Chains A and B, each alone.
Chain A
Amino acid sequence: MPAAPLLEVDDLRVAFRTRDGVVNAVNGLSFTVGRGEVLGIVGESGSGKSMAMYSMMGLLDNPNATVTGSARFEGTELIGMPLPKLNRLRGSSIAMIFQDPMTALTPVYTVGWQIVEQIRTHEKVSSQAAWKRAIALLDEVGIPDAARRAKSYPHEFSGGMRQRVMIAMSLACHPSLLIADEPTTALDVTTQRQILELIRDLQAKYGSSVIMITHDMGVISEIADRVIVMYAGRAVELGGKSQVVRSPRHPYTWGLLGAIPRPGQRGQRLATIPGLPPGPHDDQIGCPFRSRCRFAMDECSEMPQLRATGEAADHLDACWLSGDARKSLRGEIA
């Protein structure tokens, strides 16, 4: 029997009640993250990546949001977990970093103070010991002159440096899972690359699992072991990195890969797929990509299920196209 995965997500759904109907931001998402594995989640803006993560972390405080389905972390159900219990996991076993490092830190406290707070929330250590660890962490994520910089305020750091601080803080309690929600999107190209390398190095060193959320296939191909391609709240393709990047099977993934900018231009948005994702109130019938898909056919008015369509049993996609025809069809796009 294979070891149980670290995180097991099953049919996760997030729905918002709004004035003009229900918005299904996450629509039956299922995946697993193994120990030490890096899972990349890629998809356009609004595809529900953040909402999926927030719902697992209990970060959706919108009273109009309902979360259903299940997310088991080390066998324990996260969805609906009472807050005190959840708070013992958050920051210690599961850490999260966010897209915008400029606003993610509290402006009125020094970065050292905020890392010490993180440590002392979960561990009974003296504040001197915690300060020492905070400085060591800042040093480890590449903040020069860490002992002095620990006493600086967030506004005294650049965006890239702040994201380093966030990473230091998230790793302070050695989480077994790090959720990184577009950690590089707000940064310039060179800084993106450095932050990505930092995450990869630290992941290799500590062996934590990582969920890396991004718009950017380039980031995926650099860091991920496995990949989920999300579209309109669903996974449309799921497989190993080389499977998805080298032999993608879903027309939407083809578009994404076609949208990888040339080297030096990473960070561009996925603008080259014509059309817009379905509005939040679109019907739930049929393939959600069909309004933009050049291969759409009659079958596509029914919802395709995620299944293996090629030789590899662990490479899944949700598309009605016949398995054999895909290679030649993809050629048509290029």
Chain B
Amino acid sequence: MLFVAKRLGSALLVMFAISIVVFLIFFATPGVDPAARLAGRGASPEVLSQVRHAFGFDQPLPVRYVLMMDHLFVTRDLTSYVNIGDKVVPQIMQAAPVTLSLVLGAAVIWIVLGLGGGILATRFRGSVVDPIIMVIGIAAVSLPAYWVGEVVNLITQDRLHDSVFSWVPPLGYVPFAQNPGQWALHLLFPWLTLALLYGGIYARVLRAELVTAMGEDYVRTGRAKGLSERRILWRHALRGSLSPVVSLFGLDLGSLIGGAALLTEVVFGLPGIGKLTWDSLQNLDLPVIMACVLYAAFFVVAANAIVDLLYAVIDPRVRRA
């Protein structure tokens, strides 16, 4: 319990530190007028002075920081000056569920594929099954996301759309609350694409860990105890082998939710965080960029904290730390 509290406390602290760093980078870079950057290119003098006032650029740094966080988290009225009138926070709130749906759904698939592949390959070590799974794994990892997405679209939306894949809906996103069936149907191929790209590496990592674990002394003890090979693999070797997979998973999940699913989002026309970040970068829409960076940081930090907690569940030796 204490461990959990400590870990969450440190995650909060890290978040705080990140928010300060991000704030400093965006709004306290010497020699740059932050108001001009906020307001965007070619803003009129009236807008500039309005921005200066709203963000307290005439006041000391700490006050500015507090004002900014207030705009972001409390009043949530930080406004994009590029697309005048667009509130930043609602944009993020709208994009986040899309990305979460995409990434979490894909994660379920790739975890099942990855763990299943790793375990199968280990069980059938020495037969052809093992190298086949491993080659598929490495091939999948090395595929470029955008290309896979394009090929999938070409097949399901175009070439075979009149026959086998006539049931595939057009690109885009349907919210879960609106129609769960359509939600899943629209996301099916994005899920599979993302899962294909990530599942392979999980299978390979898990297999490497499992093969090492199967050579450990405690496996020999298990055999001497009369345990079946299956029980040794599932109950003894697998548990300790999950730690690296879990930490990999935390990193991937954090960065994907934070926007790294950009290419998949773009190919499949999903208006998620990755797409939002991309568009705001194109427009140099500073408030949106900053909010996206903070949002991404939040998920990376949260994912890390969750990984650490999972670690402690898996391995009792971590709990004392």
Contacts and interface: CB of A to CB of B under 8 A. Distances in A.
A87 B126 contact: no
A92 interface: yes
Contacts of A57: 223-224
A166 B235 CA distance: 18
B315 A98 contact: no
B217 A153 contact: no
A70 interface: no
B218, B240, B314: which has the most chain A beta carbons within 10 Å? B218
A122 B228 CA distance: 11
Nearest to A93: B226
B236 interface: yes
Given A98-B217, A107-B315, A108-B240, A169 B126 contact: no
Contacts of B225: 90-91, 117-118, 121, 169
Nearest to B228: A87
Contact of A89 (B226, B235, B314): B226
A287 interface: no
B138 to A, nearest CB: 24
Interface residues of B, number: 22
A155 interface: yes
A1 interface: no
The contact size tier of chain A is: 20 to 34
A291 interface: no
Interface in A80-115: 83-84, 87-92, 95-96, 98, 100, 103-109
B239 interface: yes
B223 A90 contact: yes
A331 interface: no
Interface residues of chain B: helix, strand, loop or mixed (majority): helix
Interface in B187-236: 216-218, 220-229, 235-236
Contacts of A109: 236, 239
Contacts of A59: 220, 223-224
B149 to A, nearest CB: 39
A40 to B, nearest CB: 20
Contacts of B240: 106-108
B317 interface: yes
A263 interface: no
A270 to B, nearest CB: 24
A274 interface: no
A83, A84, A103, A106: which has the most chain B beta carbons within 10 Å? A106
A164 to B, nearest CB: 15
B316 interface: yes
Contact of B224 (A95, A103, A117): A95
14 contacts: A58-B223, A84-B228, A90-B223, A91-B227, A95-B224, A98-B220, A100-B217, A104-B220, A105-B218, A106-B236, A107-B240, A108-B314, A109-B236, A153-B317
Interface of A: 57-59, 63, 83-84, 87-92, 95-96, 98, 100, 103-109, 117-118, 121-122, 153, 155, 166, 169
